[in-house]
Amino acid sequence: MIKLKAIPNILTISRILACPIWFMFVFYDYHIIAFSLILFAVFTDYLDGFLARKLDSLTSTGKILDPIADKIFMTTVLVTFVADYRASSALVIILISREIVISGLREILSEKGKSSILNVSFLSKIKTACQFISIVLLSLIPIFKEHAKGIEYVGSLFLLLSTILAIYTGYKYVILTIENKSL
């Protein structure tokens, strides 16, 4: 039997496992199912954090796995969107690069016992929300082909906004790290 307190981590791991399944459905043109998996990822991203707080089951594993699951899922989806021309390669490269840099900084700070310096900021949460909105919208393009241009425009705007926020928050995180003499 699954312990109630394990549910948040199970939800997080399910997002990682959803990546190859999502890719398979996109590859075989099952776009409605692929879209459903994106909604699943968005929902479980919210739900795992909510349940972890509600069930008082915040764990080190969950704190590490949750952002990794987000990064893996976002990267998988965005790279696929670049491959089929739904997303700008420049924006996606910036987003992925920022995530790698911030993950590296967090690792350095963790080794020095200063991991709390780079707690997730409110703007970083907004960035993630914009990324999720973007991938939800861009995943609708093959489903609603008659509205593809409008959907692509709005989805691309959210991707651009998330990239601007990624650059800004990434810069702030680097400055925080330097100011704390952690590099």
Instruction: Residue 124: give its domain's CATH number.
Output: 1.20.120
Phi, psi of 147 (to 5 degrees): -115, 15
Residue 157 amino acid letter: L
pLDDT at 183: 62
Instruction: Give dist(CA 38, CA 80) in Å, integer.
Output: 13
Compute how many other C-beta atoms are within 10 angstroms of the C-beta atom of residue 48.
24
Position 78 pLDDT exceeds 90: yes
pTM: 0.90
Expressed as residue numbers, the domain containing 74 is: 4-179
Three-state DSSP class for residue 142:
coil
pLDDT at 57: 87
Residue 20 or residue 3, greater confidence: 20
Number of domains, the chain: 1
**CA 129, 60, 12, 4 torsion-angle sign:** negative
Ramachandran region, residue 68 (left: φ > 0; alpha: ψ -120 to 50; beta: rest): alpha
Give the start-end residues of each E strand in the chain: none
Using CA atoms in the order 48, 67, 119, 132, what is the torsion angle rounded to 10 degrees? Answer: -80
pLDDT in tens, 96-148: 999 999 988 888 888 887 777 778 889 998 999 999 999 999 999 999 999 99
Q: What burial letters (b/e) apply to 9-36, b meaning 16+ CB within 10 Å?
A: bebbbebbebbeebbebbeeeebeebbe
Position 70 pLDDT exceeds 80: yes
Cβ atoms of 152 and 138 closer than 8 Å? yes
Cβ atoms of 75 and 19 closer than 8 Å? no
